[in-house]
Homo-oligomer: A and B are copies of this chain.
Amino acid sequence: MIRKETKASILVVEDEESLREALKLNLELEGYEVTTVDNGPGVLKVVKNEYFDLIILDIMLPDMDGITVCETIRMQHNDVPIMFLSARNTSADKVEGLKKGGDDYLTKPFNLEELLLRVQKLIVKNKKIHDPHAVPDVYTFEGGKIDFAAHECVDHNGGKQELSKKEAALLKLLIEHEGQVVSREHILQIVWGYNVYPTTRTIDNFILNFRKYFEADSRNPKHFHSVRGIGYKFTA
């Protein structure tokens, strides 16, 4: 099994600079990859383009309040865990936050250690949800056979091929999500470990190779499909 030692990524949304920087610092000390934003509309933009394991969202933002931001994110079918931060600690506020799609609600001032623990729990749970099904060391499908332990595969002609590290990792990821589309962001997050990417054609090149290995007609792939605007999909 390939261990993922990629950092979990957190988006911190907080307009007050000192708190924002303090959060960033402490989360980074815990080993998280932290992005910060100080306004509502900015969140929506950045959430559309990047993958996050958790969003820490201040409710009181100058332009667009956090609840609305959360609602909007949820309306776009994004299930990223969201932790609300707020100075308001009435039950009504908490209930509203949780109802509108928040996963946790902390009141300011908060205890740092508690926040870090809750952050950790939310991230671990979510990872478990997305943690895909186990793939055997030797995976056989119509297009060939892949031996993840030996880092080699048998292509569609029966020829043997060595698999490089990244090739194996990407293959495994796609096979783990067999039948489902895996977004480019997710691929980069898991296989490469970065979050933002310049318009890179790197992933495409790997897919091209897979198609060479496993597809009889690489122009009309039966196993490695691209889903325009989203990512790639493997089907057996």
Report A's interface with B, CB cutoff 8 A: 44, 75-77, 91, 94-95, 98-99, 103-104, 111, 113-114, 117-118, 121, 125-126, 128-129, 132-133, 147, 149-151, 162, 164-165, 169, 172, 179-181, 190, 194, 225, 227-230, 233, 235
Closest beta carbon of chain B to A57's beta carbon, Å: 16
What CA separation (Å) do A114 and B95 show in the bound complex?
Answer: 5
Q: Which residue of B lies closest to A225 (CB)?
A: B162
Q: Once the chains are docked, how many angstroms separate the CA of A227 from the CA of B147?
A: 14
Cα-based distance from A77 to B128 in the complex (angstroms): 16
The residue that A190 contacts in the complex, of B76, B172, B225, B228, with Cβ under 8 A, is B76
Query: Which residues of B sit under 8 angstroms from A125, Cβ to Cβ?
Result: 125-126, 129
Contact in complex: B77, A91 (CB < 8 Å): no
Using Cβ atoms and an 8 Å threshold, which residues of chain B touch A181? Answer: 149-151
* Residues on the B chain within 8 Å of A180, using CB: 149-150
Is the beta-carbon distance between A164 and B228 smaller than 8 angstroms? yes
Instruction: Give me the 8 closest cross-chain CB pairs, A-B, nearest first.
Output: A91-B111, A165-B229, A98-B117, A149-B180, A128-B129, A95-B113, A151-B181, A94-B114
Give the complex CA separation of A7 and B118 in angstroms. Answer: 27
Structural contact, B151 and A230, CB atoms closer than 8 A: yes
A121 to B150, CA, bound (A): 29
Question: Which chain B residue has the least Cβ–Cβ distance from A229?
Answer: B165
Contacts of A118 in B (CB 8 A): 98
Known contacts A94-B111, A149-B181; 19 further A-B pairs (Cβ under 8 A): A76-B190, A91-B111, A91-B113, A95-B114, A98-B118, A98-B121, A99-B117, A103-B121, A125-B129, A147-B179, A149-B179, A150-B179, A150-B180, A151-B227, A162-B227, A164-B228, A165-B227, A165-B229, A165-B230
